[in-house]
Amino acid sequence: MTILQIIAGGLLLGAVYALFSAGLTLIWGMMNVINFAHGEFVMIGMYVAYLVVTYLHGGPLVFGPAAAVVLSLLGVSVYFGLIRHVMRGPMIAQILGTFGLALLLRYLAFWLFGANFKTLPDDLIPGTLNIGGILIGMPQLAAGAVALVLTIGMHLMLTRTAIGSQLLAVSEDREAAMLMGIRPDRMLALAWALSAAGAGIAGAMIATFYYIVPTVGESLALTAFVVVAFGGFGSVPGALIAGLLIGVIQSLSAYVFGPVLKDVVVYALFVGVLWVRPQGLLGKIA
């Protein structure tokens, strides 16, 4: 029963990993750009939740949408203010540009909020669900359920809607998309808005049971990169499957080997998978 409870917790955490990793893989698939500031986007979503709870006394129904709005605006601003310009330069300019953005956001958070750990009230999403003897905290259940629904929704939007078709057309051939009347700049800005909004909501929901500190984005960004590479660059379903797998592997590793070694196991398996299948689980060979 203990193992089943650990697996259930890992699946819920993995769903959150999948949500903020899906945004990262969307940007990679459309623009061939690695956003090193993606972890900081999640961190900002956590602080948005903290501010809403502390000063507006709002709950998840308030801080979730608030994080989505704030981060989507940030995503659009980053695209027009930085990414659109560095894309004209070499790859190193894109890498250093997003890495510099990550440092800017991180130390701006230090300046605004300090270095002390912050947490949200325990009774924000109270209760524990008992399913056949498996105890699941309501904050984890809410975060996992919301993340799973939004990740599947992102995939359906990309594959079943006109906007999704336009986004995919731009990712395939920007010039051909322009000839069809699609505005690439508008679609790319929308992709950044969706990516950042997903990260913001994931951050807001994970803040209900995770600590909040300006450096939290570093560890979350590493996890996101592992999920994206594991699942396949540019594949949202791959990010979902990989996120769930990594969440379970982390939880089981922490139980068997201890919390200190859980990430070592994940990274070792990650390297092993890429050795055998470099394109990831659902990625395509270039």
Q: Give a yes or no: residue 232 inside a domain.
A: no
Would the pLDDT of 4 be above 80?
yes
Q: Give a yes or no: residue 260 inside a domain.
A: no
Would the pLDDT of 183 be above 90?
no
For 247-262, the pLDDT digits (tens) are: 998 888 888 888 777 8
Give the residue numbers spanning the domain of 143: 2-214
Asked if 247 contacts 226 with a C-beta cutoff of 8 angstroms, the reply is no
The whole-number pLDDT of residue 234 equals 77
Residue 45: φ, ψ to 5°: -60, -35
Question: pTM for the complete prediction?
Answer: 0.91
Q: Give a yes or no: residue 286 inside a domain.
A: no
The whole-number pLDDT of residue 193 equals 95
Q: Give a yes or no: residue 245 inside a domain.
A: no
Q: Give a yes or no: residue 209 inside a domain.
A: yes
Mean pLDDT, rounded, for 51-62: 91
Q: Give a yes or no: residue 282 inside a domain.
A: no
Asked if 67 contacts 49 with a C-beta cutoff of 8 angstroms, the reply is yes
Of 256, 273, 243, nearest to 17 (Cα)?
A: 243
* Tally of structural domains, the chain: 1
Q: Give a yes or no: residue 112 inside a domain.
A: yes
Count Cβ neighbours within 10 Å for each residue of 220-238 and write b for 16 or more, e otherwise: bbebbbbbbbbbbbbbbbb
Strand partners, 118: 212
For 182, the 3-state DSSP assignment is: coil
For 82-110, the pLDDT digits (tens) are: 998 888 878 888 888 999 999 999 999 99
The whole-number pLDDT of residue 100 equals 93
Q: Give a yes or no: residue 202 inside a domain.
A: yes
For 220-235, the pLDDT digits (tens) are: 888 888 888 888 777 8
Distance CA 221, CA 47 (A): 16
Distance CA 93, CA 100 (A): 10
The whole-number pLDDT of residue 6 equals 87
- Kindly state the tokens that stand for 9: 């917790």
